[in-house]
Structure 1
Amino acid sequence: MNQELDSAAGSLPHDNFRCGTVALAGRPNVGKSTLLNALIGFRLSITSPRPQTTRHRILGINTSEAGQIMYVDTPGLHRGAKRAMNRSLNRAARSAISDVDLVVQVIEAGRWTDEDEALYAALVEQSSPRLLVINKVDLNKDKTVMLPFVAELVAKHSYDEIHYVSALKGQGLQELEQAILQRLPVRPPVFGEDEVTDRSERFLAAEMVREQLMLRLDQELPYATTVEIEQFNDRPDGIAEIHAIIWVERAGQKAIVIGNGGAQLKAIGTGARRHMERMFERKVFLKLWVKVREGWVDDENMLKKFGYTD
């Protein structure tokens, strides 16, 4: 921890100041990343309508006068993990819930699936307190349907509290944050007041390119892609120069990512660059290449090279 961070952390109150780590866990596509972004007030985790958009554990930090909450956005725990990539995501999700002060299980309003049940079974093996967050309540027009759904849930499952939220609309978040804070230990902050993550700009740049792949490519193709940052330098003129490789599994996929006359790759690059400039608060020069590495999704060594670790 550097001196600047020590100084920032030391400026916060310490009497009854609470600080701890909270895992946001759930099956794919229940809105964990949207919830993280809403809770920290910063667009940190990439989002898309596709399940399994989140592939890495992302730490998002929210610091207030009352405390510092370190949220961990986890990959969605899912069944049918036949490929090495999917097994890696499940290991990362299970690892994230084993070493935190509190777990928040996020589900979709009105839906409880086998994957939700499997995650709950993993949670009860831990000693951490657990909250249930029912997300996307704004999409449920008939509120009376929720009553029997929740009644059946609480009859079979034990949670310290249940919260109804809409991460997208910002509903119910203040009450959820208070419930989290009161269950965290009293201790000084770990990070400075202005820090929102421990992830590097290099990592975030790769994620923003991958987000565009998830948003712009059809069907299963986004899952056969990953992004590696080959170069990230700040030039003397203040521009961040970033070179990134988009890896795919087959030559046919490469052609699709590039698109007719390079149009698709240009659109991916433009979308990613705009997000980078907003987040990094400086101009970005982004250069993208598409390369083929057959079977990288099932290659444990390549997965480690690309940062997929527990």
Structure 2
Amino acid sequence: MTDPHSAPHRAGFVAVIGRPNVGKSTLVNALVGAKVSIVSNRPQTTRHRLLGIATLPEGQLLLVDTPGIHREQKRAMNRVMNRAARGALEGVDVALLVVVAGRWDEEDTLAFDALRGAGVPVVLVVNQIDRMKDKTALLPYLQQVVEGREFAGVVPLSALKRNGLQQLVSTVLPLLPEQPPLYGEDEITDKSQRFLAGELVREQLMRQLGAELPYATTVEIESFTVDGAMLRIGAVIWVERDGQKAIVIGKGGARLKDISTKARLQMERLFDAKVFLETWVRVRQGWSDDEAALKALGYGE
């Protein structure tokens, strides 16, 4: 028998928007309770639109993780990522604008302006409050940011330390439609294991390579087969020049081995299965500034 005083179940789509490197993917992973979106300390780690499914007793948040919106659109890759971020606003019920505590710049304004035209409630998520040295500066900062801007709620939190998440859920849920769950409670993303495998290899590239090189690399899963209790995965790391290939492989193949080992361990944790991973590095000149090449590699889908 249903309790007539219990709150109705709510479910809906929540876009997670912001400039690069504000912790959007960390927030999505924290709410989902599993690693569905890769993270590194480099801007623009997220390149694709990805759905993280957070199933809670009181409702279901379908979190649309997006690439960061940024001003510079020098290469086709940047243009595709901006389109993915803006396209994520179509059909959502609520948007989260994620910013870093104590900071608001032109790119934050760009992200807010993109949301303002979407016609959905916007909740301001002020992330990384644990890193603010002067906690008394938080309130004046919040007052400054909200002045002249309309938000459906303001939630300071730390996604990394998982502080403030319940307040965010309590703020967002009433803004979602009353309806049953849209996904099963054991589902955590709309992406395939094949896609996630490629992302976990790319995460290691972002973490282990120098400042510029990760942006000239991408990963294509050539093979993904189930062999009894084991997953056999073949991954190609694409670079743009021969010199980059040598850097990714490293001396005596050491760096490629380390990238592969760490990616494999992450896959085993996420897929809850043994993984046999083979990786190769190949050259495809100019792939990041070629719309056709990007489409062939799965960008913009």
TM-score bracket, shorter-length normalisation? over 0.9
Q: 1:271 is matched with which residue?
A: 262
> What's the CA shift for 1:15?
7.9
Q: How does 1:159-178 map to 2 (within 5 A)?
A: 159-178=151-170
Alignment partner of 1:111 is 2:111:
no
Cα deviation, 1:110-158, whole Å, max 9, x if unaligned, reads 0001010011111111111110000000000211212222111111211
Runs of 4+ in 1 over 2 A off after TM superposition: none
Q: 1:93 is matched with which residue?
A: 85
CA distance in 2, matches of 1:160, 1:180: 9
Report how many residues are paired. 296
Q: Tell me the secondary structure at the aligned position of residue 182 of structure 1.
A: helix
Q: 1:296 is matched with which residue?
A: 287
Q: 2:62 is matched with which residue?
A: 70
- Segments of structure 1 that go 5 or more residues without pairing to the other structure are 1-13
> What's the CA shift for 1:98?
2.8
Q: How does 1:51-200 map to 2 (within 5 A)?
A: 51-200=43-192
> What's the CA shift for 1:65?
2.6
Cα deviation, 1:181-237, whole Å, max 9, x if unaligned, reads 11100112211111111110000000000000000001100000000000000113x
Q: Tell me the secondary structure at the aligned position of residue 147 of structure 2.
A: helix
CA distance in 2, matches of 1:202, 1:156: 45
Q: How does 1:37-52 map to 2 (within 5 A)?
A: 37-52=29-44
Alignment partner of 1:215 is 2:207:
yes
Q: Does structure 1 conserve the Cα–Cα contact (< 8 Å) formed by 2:13 and 2:62?
A: yes
Q: 1:243 is matched with which residue?
A: 234
Identity of aligned residues (%): 56
CA distance in 2, matches of 1:251, 1:88: 25
Cα deviation, 1:49-77, whole Å, max 9, x if unaligned, reads 00000001111111123211100111000
CA distance in 2, matches of 1:170, 1:145: 21
Which stretch shows the higher mean deviation, 202-211 or 148-157? 148-157
Q: 2:247 is matched with which residue?
A: 256
CA RMSD of aligned residues (A): 1.2
Letter in 2 for 1:199: K
Q: Does structure 1 conserve the Cα–Cα contact (< 8 Å) formed by 2:38 and 2:45?
A: yes
Q: 1:228 is matched with which residue?
A: 220
Cα deviation, 1:152-173, whole Å, max 9, x if unaligned, reads 1111211011000000111110
Letter in 2 for 1:242: I
CA distance in 2, matches of 1:183, 1:78: 27
CA distance in 1, matches of 2:230, 2:189: 22
